[in-house]
Amino acid sequence: MIVCICNNISDRQIKKLVEDGTSRFGELQTKLGVSTNCGTCRTLAEEILRNHTLSLRSNESSFIQSPPIPAFQGT
């Protein structure tokens, strides 16, 4: 979906930057140019940034590492 009509920026582009480590709105503005013209898209772009960041953090914290399997102690 197009988030920023002025600069033709999609939600996928925003999510990709979040996945690559972008965590602040100012970084999105610098890297993509989102919300640098009329500003109408700012609220939606911030929402996508926040939600995708939280989603990634949630996925990381829900990953439970299994305990190591003991070595076979054959007879």
Range of the domain at 6: 2-58
Question: Does residue 38 lie in a domain region?
Answer: yes
Count of domains in the chain?
Answer: 1
Among 65, 43, 45, 42, CA closest to 53? 45
User: DSSP secondary structure string, 4-65?
Assistant: ETTTTEEHHHHHHHHHTT--SHHHHHHHH-TTSSS-TTHHHHHHHHHHHHHHHHHHHHH--P
pLDDT of residue 36: 96
Profile the chain (75 residues) by mean pLDDT over runs of 10 residues. Answer: 97 97 96 96 97 88 59 63
CATH of the domain at 36: 1.10.10.1100
pLDDT of residue 58: 85
